[in-house]
Amino acid sequence: MGSEWLIANGHSMHVQRTGDPSLPVVVFLHGFTGSISTWSTIISLLEGKVHAVAIDLWGHGLSDKPESSSDYSMVQQTKDLEQLFSQMELTKFTLVGYSMGGRTALGYATSFPERIKRLVLESASPGLKTEAERSDRKQRDAKLADRLLQDPLEDFVDFWENLALFDSQKLMTVEQKNEVRKERLSQDARGLANSLLGIGTGSQPSYWEVLSKQLYPVTLITGSLDSKFETIALDMKNLLPDSYHYRVENAGHAIHVEKPEEFATIIDEIVKQK
């Protein structure tokens, strides 16, 4: 229990396990510039209800920062997660992913559906639909990666937290804002750059065409202030055979940070479903 480092694809991945292993297993995957610590409040609120497994994805937190961006690709990272889950002997679980972690969770679930009891996607996308969109996004991600490597990390974090996507986070308490900023500043610039190049939205496969074949239950969670991802979630809901959409009022992109009690309640309700 607690922190451990497991080897996948020759690299060391940081995993944190909390709670009685006999409880329902919930695996948490963070977003870009995030880490295991983003889930600490949620895991605390779910104490005694779930066995929580939080993972630092490649390039983030205390996991390794492989030198090649190919190690960060969606295909490779989902294979590496499968290695991890096999080592931990997690046969069936609820998989929760936020933003980049949501894209990764969906990628994993499409490849290894037999392990998925339920999939929970918070402010996540199946990718971009056209090659033109992907090409444009890859170019923009490459420019961001260059910026990470050339400028001080603090400058990049200043830029990142002022994106329109995170406007609603300006309404958070000073303590909440400081925690998010501290987490972002704790990252490694090279790891973040390689993550952008390897598993950015422009580099990953599009999963729109396979949504209709996903037979496990999927819960989509979006904030009412995040119109872009609410639209994506509703489009996904129309294609998924077994899905439900939660709209959290007065929340933006990071519901688990902005409205932790509501988010934890949703997870608790999902886990209790038969």
CATH number at residue 180: 3.40.50.1820
The residue-averaged pLDDT of 7-18 equals 97
- pLDDT above 90 covers a percentage of the chain that reads 98
Identify the pLDDT of residue 197. 97
Residues 69-84: tens digit of each pLDDT: 999 999 999 999 999 9
How far apart are the C-alpha atoms of 92 and 133, rounded to whole Å?
A: 35
- DSSP E strand stretches across the chain: 2-8, 11-18, 25-29, 51-55, 93-98, 116-122, 218-223, 243-248
On whether the CB atoms of residues 217 and 259 are closer than 8 A, the answer is no
**The model's pTM:** 0.97
Identify the pLDDT of residue 199. 97
Identify the pLDDT of residue 2. 87
Residues 34-62: tens digit of each pLDDT: 999 999 999 999 999 999 999 999 999 99
Residues 21-33: tens digit of each pLDDT: 999 999 999 999 9
Identify the pLDDT of residue 1. 64
Residues 189-246: tens digit of each pLDDT: 999 999 999 999 999 999 999 999 999 999 999 999 999 999 999 999 999 999 999 9
The residue-averaged pLDDT of 160-169 equals 94
Structural domain count of the chain: 1
The residue-averaged pLDDT of 168-196 equals 95
The residue-averaged pLDDT of 99-112 equals 98
Identify the pLDDT of residue 91. 92
Identify the pLDDT of residue 274. 75
Which domain range does residue 34 map to? 2-272
Of the candidates 181, 180, 148, the one whose C-alpha atom is nearest the C-alpha of residue 59 is: 148
